Homo-oligomer: A and B are copies of this chain.
Amino acid sequence: MSDVKKVVLAYSGGLDTSVIVKWLQETYDCEVVTFTADIGQGEEVEPARAKAQALGVKEIYIEDLREEFVRDYVYPMFRANTIYEGEYLLGTSIARPLIAKRLIEIANQTGADAISHGATGKGNDQVRFELGAYALKPGVKVIAPWREWDLNSREKLMAYCQQHDIPVDFTSQKKKSPYSMDANLLHISYEGGNLEDPWTEAEEDMWRWSVSPEAAPDEPTYVKLTYERGDIVAIDGVPMKPHEVLSRLNKLGGDNGIGRLDIVENRYVGMKSRGCYETPGGTIMLRAHRAIESLTLDREEAHLKDELMPKYAEVIYNGYWWSPERRMLQAAIDETQKNVSGVVRMKLYKGNATVAGRKSDASLFDESIATFEDDAGAYDQKDAEGFIKLNALRLRIAAGKGRQQD
């Protein structure tokens, strides 16, 4: 363990990662560089500076990555209407590649030879951090304390704190919660506690970002989303940057009880886990993006996107953002978004995000053909006979040769 000289740690400022700072210094006799990012988790990041200093850290990186996070990760992912296992909007998964990238960039800047993180050995996040790190810097050493040390209970951690003079107030950073949580601009997640029984309904006071549908206003809220090339660029006509869009939609969604999800999912490491998620803005975005695509995408590219989506979601969930297969899929997805521009009008009401209208200059909806009224010859109904006859030919031949179809 003596060959690690300097390690960059993804540092939240909380108790666990503060212990990790000390544990790394002791165990590896190395310098620790801390990296703390604001990705919209809703907590101040600046306090992490003093805490790191108190732990003897000399190189401290504190950054606001919200714009980059939404622009370069969340937005590209939403172009694919990405959902994991039919339900999950990948709120945690999509933040990890950015953290991994910055850890490696900082390692390169500071001459560090290792990176470290506070993810446990049972979860997906260790995989996501480390696959990213290895993909971007193949020779990097990764230190995952939770897989190495024996501080695997709250009591042992607290004892370690007292023993090493880690200030007590580090532990009071956030309201004590029985849940394991993770938050960024896209979502907040909850695991553990009484959620470990999938039959038990989540308690109302667990949820932090949204009111319940019951508590939401009795009047609907309408909002207009302007799309350009697959991305939202304005809300109600006001141009906004990606992270401003998502912040605003989180507010609107949360106020209207939108975006709660309670699922059992399959982790990449092989087990099922129960998780609850609040994704207010993302839930609105998913629905709205499908609506603008319904006008502007060709049928076959839309269907092909739908066939590729589960694979794309799996790639991101499993931690392969920084991989050739993700780039390959992204190239296909982005190719389709050139004309995905227009406006979607959404109705938000007590947990429901429904489409109230969609329009686009690039619309492929052709009223003159679609109409139930006289179409003035735009479509010749007689063409349908040949269309059906030839599409049926293989079935007719098979039936004619005695094949049973039922």
| Chain A contacts to B: CB under 8 angstroms | 81, 85-87, 101, 120-122, 126-127, 130-131, 134-139, 144, 146-147, 152-153, 180, 191-193, 196-201, 213-214, 218, 220, 260, 262-266, 269-274, 290-291, 294-295, 297-307, 310-311, 314, 320, 322-325, 327-329, 331-332, 334-336, 339, 345, 347, 349-352, 354-359, 362-367, 369-372, 374, 379-401, 403, 405-406
Contact = CB atoms under 8 A, between A and B. Distances in A.
Contacts of A192: 371-372
A272 B370 contact: yes
Contacts of A120: 381
A265 to B, nearest CB: 7
A134 to B, nearest CB: 4
Contacts of A306: 85-86, 310
B390 A384 contact: yes
Contact of A269 (B298, B322, B387): B387
A291 to B, nearest CB: 8
A223 to B, nearest CB: 13
A370 B138 contact: no
Contacts of A386: 380, 382-387, 389-390
Given A294-B265, A349-B351, A351-B352, A392 B131 contact: yes
B323 A405 contact: yes
A134 B396 contact: yes
A390 B300 contact: no
A60 B290 CA distance: 45
A192 B196 CA distance: 49
21 contacts: A85-B302, A85-B303, A86-B306, A122-B379, A126-B384, A131-B395, A134-B395, A134-B399, A144-B385, A191-B372, A213-B349, A214-B218, A263-B294, A266-B299, A266-B303, A271-B366, A298-B394, A301-B324, A304-B311, A327-B405, A366-B400
Q: How many copies does the complex hold?
A: 4
Contacts of A136: 399, 405-406
A393 B270 contact: yes
B350 A201 contact: no
A232 B60 CA distance: 51
B121 A381 contact: yes
B214 A138 contact: no
Contacts of A403: 339, 362
Contacts of A351: 349-352, 354
A362 B400 CA distance: 11
A272 to B, nearest CB: 4
A366 B369 CA distance: 37
Given A136-B406, A197-B367, A306-B310, 16 more contacts: A85-B294, A85-B302, A121-B379, A135-B396, A135-B398, A144-B385, A153-B374, A193-B372, A201-B347, A201-B356, A213-B350, A260-B354, A263-B294, A270-B394, A299-B394, A304-B328
A296 to B, nearest CB: 10
B269 A384 contact: yes
A316 B227 CA distance: 31
A194 to B, nearest CB: 12
B303 A310 contact: yes
A115 to B, nearest CB: 13
